[in-house]
Amino acid sequence: MDQRVCENLSRLFSLEGKVIVMTGAAGAIGSELSKGMAGVGGRMILCDVNEERLESLAEEIRSAGGEAQAMPLNLLEVGTIRPCVERIEAEYGRIDVLVNMAGINKRKPIMDNDPELFDRIMGVNLKGAYFMSQAAAEVMKKNQSGSIINVASYNAVMMLGGNSIYGASKSGVAAMTRSQAIEWAKYGIRSNALSPGHIRTQLTAPLWDDPELSKYMLDRIAMARPGTPQDLLGMTILLASDASAYMSGMLYHVDGGCLAGGQPWNI
């Protein structure tokens, strides 16, 4: 590739030297995004409750020439969030990007849900992201710069049965994103939401392996295939990089054309 082209692309999209905090880093999507962002220069701080997987991921990134550090964190224990962020600031001096990837779900009909499940899903998906953002924004404010990437979902605007709590939490993430964008713009902080469509991971494999359920989903995806974690990397890098300097407060869908209307009728 022409040297000038490489330099221009690097200036726009490189994450070189950026300190990036990724919650939910041990998950299928979080781990792929962490490796991808490290591959374009991000200094990754990996947060999750799965300490063993975190250490393995950090070592994998370092073995590939990237920079990564594991910092175990349980978002359900809100009191541990600020000490974690304070440790990051003490060691790195800044936070350039926060990716609120951590999320959980359990599909159950509305009538079968209980307060404990409600609190657990909301606690990780919304409350945890809310207070993680608050703590990180205080660090970003000092440098008058930062990008927050909240991970919402297709279920923030459309719904599948059995996802009432999850959908409510992700709708809350979308609203939180808009609030962050308008309140923190004066501090040089941008906030956007990445909204994945139907992504195939180890956790969703049983849905895709079910003939009836997979047909239901594929009929609603214009590209007629499930997404992969790697499909989310380009948008994530864009939102983390300087290429998105005038983008804030928006929900960006990566869904294979699902919300556009799915597969067309035969005409």
Which residues are annotated as catalytic? Answer: 166
The DSSP output letter for 20 is E
Q: C-alpha distances in angstroms, 47 versus 39, 84, 103, 210?
A: 18, 9, 12, 32
219's tokens: 């009929």
Judged by phi (left if over 0) then psi (alpha if -120 to 50, else beta), residue 148 lies in beta
Place of tokens 């993430």: 173
Q: Residue 53 burial (CB < 10 Å; 0-12/13-18/19+)?
A: middle
Place of tokens 């909301």: 122
The DSSP output letter for 245 is T
100's tokens: 């609120």
Give CA–CA dist 109/171, Å, rounded: 18
CA torsion angle 70 73 79 83 (round to 10): 0
Q: Are 235 and 193 in contact (CB under 8 A)?
A: no
Q: C-alpha distances in angstroms, 82 versus 21, 90, 149, 179, 203?
A: 13, 12, 18, 20, 30
